[in-house]
């Protein structure tokens, strides 16, 4: 049964609290609050505490989360986030500080930021890092503003940005926001950049190539070094979207691939609960020539300075693109990422990517007999399959996604990447056990069989949820956000 609204649960006169009679004059309070009559006209719900508690507890149980079940939402890295990260983020010394406090009173926080910059630099090989951007897409914006500043400083503002058709959708959007024209690069038959096409399009007007690594097909570009050298030979920069770095930790350094600008998604790779608009962080790493353009302030360290002044905010950077975020970024996310990196260490981080890749390939091996595989290659951290075969029976990727909900599983990303028909983009992540993967594969195989023999059961899914298929277009176009009492409904 769908959970009723609080308005529908209550009855006039019910209260969720009881307070003793006040022993101080209440005249001021009466003046501050609207008169009782007006309060009634607000039609606020009136519920007992027990009904209130049950209402919100039931709602929380209808919520899906990584802590309740498997969440293979491709490209989003919905892995388990160790609870020790939360403990660290809630330490009073981190939780209860204010960004306007003098630097000498927050040396520990600045040290954490400084060391996190260094860890990200050593993981990626990049020369400098800013922690300021609040999300992956925000990191892209920051990175591309630095690309602009770099070309401007060299006296020739270029016009174009190249983006492969296998890139994340935020890449072309970012380039356009920075005022660039976007030219799309076709993928070759192995899901990589088509080198001939790149050579043809790579002119002196191209500011950068934006490459998602691994790309949205879950594939690593086999010609990445060749790609970088073609871009560099015409004075362009290589921007790398590293949001899905859980595939590559400790395996390869982006700088060694020829990357000039790179963004990380701390909330994905470095383990902060995200989704639903929760806080994130999209630090950006740059190569040596782009260092002067980093946003201010950069967190610096001077070992020779007096105690209390060693860690500092460096504002003295005349070529900086300026600040991109209020204060210094989402500090709580930085604490979680720092804790995650420190608890795992170099060996642990390498194991993260080994497990992410082996988990995805395990699923690929179990499922490729039952679903179409558009590129016959080993994948990285995610496997992109196609429901083309099921479509012949009238069952589409959306129907398969809805049917998975009946098995207690979160659906994978669907209809993305756009270059795969009926795409099912499955990212199991490194934190899942073989049992969980086997359960998911069994569900997917059963659904493939149902699609062939009994498509109605798939087409009518989900069967076991409080509500079935929602009208998503109407929900987006005509959202019904306000409750009205029965008497006032028109």
Ligand X SMILES: *Cc1c(COP(=O)(O)O)cnc(C)c1O
| Contacts to ligand X by CB under 6 A | 75, 135-137, 168, 170, 212, 241, 243-244, 265, 280, 282
CA angle 218, 267, 177 (to 5 degrees): 75
**Closer Cβ to ligand X, 117 or 216, answer by number:** 216
| Beta strands across the sheet bearing 383-386 | 383-386, 423-426, 413-414
- Closest approach, Cβ 265 to ligand X, in A, equals 5
- Closest approach, Cβ 271 to ligand X, in A, equals 14
**Closer Cβ to ligand X, 117 or 170, answer by number:** 170
- Closest approach, Cβ 164 to ligand X, in A, equals 12
- Closest approach, Cβ 333 to ligand X, in A, equals 10
- Closest approach, Cβ 263 to ligand X, in A, equals 8
**Two tokens at 144?**
């591309």
Please, are residues 313 and 297 in contact by the beta-carbon 8 Å criterion? yes
- Closest approach, Cβ 266 to ligand X, in A, equals 9
**Closer Cβ to ligand X, 106 or 384, answer by number:** 384
- Closest approach, Cβ 82 to ligand X, in A, equals 20
**Closer Cβ to ligand X, 77 or 359, answer by number:** 77
Gap between the Cα atoms of 328 and 315, Å rounded: 12
**Closer Cβ to ligand X, 243 or 441, answer by number:** 243
Enumerate the β-bridge partners of residue 160: 181, 206
Of all residues in this chain, which one has the CB nearest to ligand X in the complex? 136
**Closer Cβ to ligand X, 277 or 485, answer by number:** 277
**Closer Cβ to ligand X, 168 or 336, answer by number:** 168
- Closest approach, Cβ 169 to ligand X, in A, equals 8
**Closer Cβ to ligand X, 105 or 184, answer by number:** 184
- Closest approach, Cβ 130 to ligand X, in A, equals 15
**Closer Cβ to ligand X, 130 or 244, answer by number:** 244
**Closer Cβ to ligand X, 228 or 333, answer by number:** 333
- Closest approach, Cβ 468 to ligand X, in A, equals 28
**Closer Cβ to ligand X, 414 or 451, answer by number:** 414
Print the SS3 string covering the chain. Answer: CCCCCHHHHCCCCCCCCCCCCCCCCCHHHHHHCCCHHHHHHCCCCCCCHHHHHHHHHHHHHHCCCCCCCCCCECCCCCCCCCHHHHHHHCCHHHHCCCCCCCHHHCHHHHHHHHHHHHHHHHHHCCCEEECCCCCHHHHHHHHHHHHHHHHHHCCCCCCEEEEECCCCCHHHHHHHHCCCEEEEECECCCCCECHHHHHHHCCCCEEEEEEECCCCCCCCCCCHHHHHHHHHHCCCEEEEEECCHHHCCCCCCHHHHCCCEEEECHHHHCCCCCCCCCCCCCCEEECHHHHHHCCCCEEEECCCCCCCCCEEEECCCCCCCCCCCCCCCCHHHHHHHHHHHHHHHHHHHHHHHHHHHHHHHHHHHHHCCCCECCCCCCCCCCEEEECHHHHCCCCCHHHHHHHHHHCCCCCCEECCCCCCCCEEEECCCCCCCHHHHHHHHHHHHHHHHHHHHCHHHHHCCCCCCCCCCCCHHHHHHCCCCCCCCHHHCC
- Closest approach, Cβ 80 to ligand X, in A, equals 18
Gap between the Cα atoms of 29 and 44, Å rounded: 19
């Amino acid at each position: 049964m769908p959970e009723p609204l609080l308005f529908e649960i209550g009855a006039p006169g019910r209260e969720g609290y009881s307070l003793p009679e006040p022993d101080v004059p209440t005249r001021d309070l009466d003046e501050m609050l609207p008169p009782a009559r007006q309060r009634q006209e607000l039609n606020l719900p009136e519920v007992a505490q027990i009904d209130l508690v049950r209402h919100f507890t039931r709602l929380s149980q209808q919520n899906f989360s990584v802590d309740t079940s498997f969440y293979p939402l491709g490209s989003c890295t919905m892995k388990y986030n160790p609870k020790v990260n939360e403990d660290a983020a809630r330490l009073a010394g981190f939780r209860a500080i204010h960004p306007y406090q003098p630097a000498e009173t927050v040396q520990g926080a600045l040290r954490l930021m400084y060391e996190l910059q260094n860890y990200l630099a050593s993981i990626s090989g990049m020369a400098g890092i800013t922690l300021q951007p609040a999300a992956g897409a925000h990191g892209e914006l920051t990175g591309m503003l630095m690309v602009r500043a770099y070309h401007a400083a060299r006296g020739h503002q270029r016009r174009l940005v190249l983006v492969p058709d296998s890139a994340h959708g935020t890449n072309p959007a970012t380039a356009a926001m920075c005022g660039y024209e976007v030219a799309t690069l076709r993928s070759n038959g192995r899901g990589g950049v088509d080198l001939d096409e790149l050579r043809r399009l790579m002119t002196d007007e191209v500011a950068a190539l934006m490459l998602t690594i691994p790309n949205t097909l879950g594939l690593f570009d086999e010609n990445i070094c060749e790609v970088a050298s073609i871009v560099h030979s015409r004075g362009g920069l290589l921007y790398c979207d590293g949001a899905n770095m859980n595939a590559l930790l400790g395996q390869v350094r982006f700088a060694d691939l020829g990357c000039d600008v790179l963004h990380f998604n701390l909330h994905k790779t470095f383990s902060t609960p995200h989704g639903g608009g929760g806080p994130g962080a999209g630090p950006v790493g740059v190569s040596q020539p782009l260092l002067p353009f980093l946003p201010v302030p950069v967190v610096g360290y001077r070992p020779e300075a007096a105690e209390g002044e060693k860690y500092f905010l460096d504002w003295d950077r005349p070529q900086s693109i300026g600040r991109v975020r209020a204060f210094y970024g989402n500090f709580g996310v930085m604490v979680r990422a720092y804790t995650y990196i420190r608890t795992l260490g170099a060996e642990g981080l390498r194991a993260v990517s080994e497990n992410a890749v082996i988990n995805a390939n395990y699923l690929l091996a179990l499922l490729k007999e039952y679903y179409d595989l558009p590129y016959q290659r080993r994948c990285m951290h995610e496997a992109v399959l196609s429901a083309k075969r099921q479509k012949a029976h009238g069952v589409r990727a959306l129907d398969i996604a809805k049917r998975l909900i009946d098995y207690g599983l979160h659906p994978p990303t669907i209809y993305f990447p756009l270059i795969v028909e009926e795409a099912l983009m499955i990212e199991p992540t490194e934190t899942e056990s073989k049992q969980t993967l086997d359960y998911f594969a069994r569900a997917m195989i059963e659904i493939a069989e149902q699609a062939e023999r009994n498509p109605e059961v798939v087409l009518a899914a989900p069967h076991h949820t409080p509500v079935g298929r929602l009208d998503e277009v109407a929900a987006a176009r005509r959202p019904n956000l306000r409750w009205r009492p029965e008497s006032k409904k028109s």
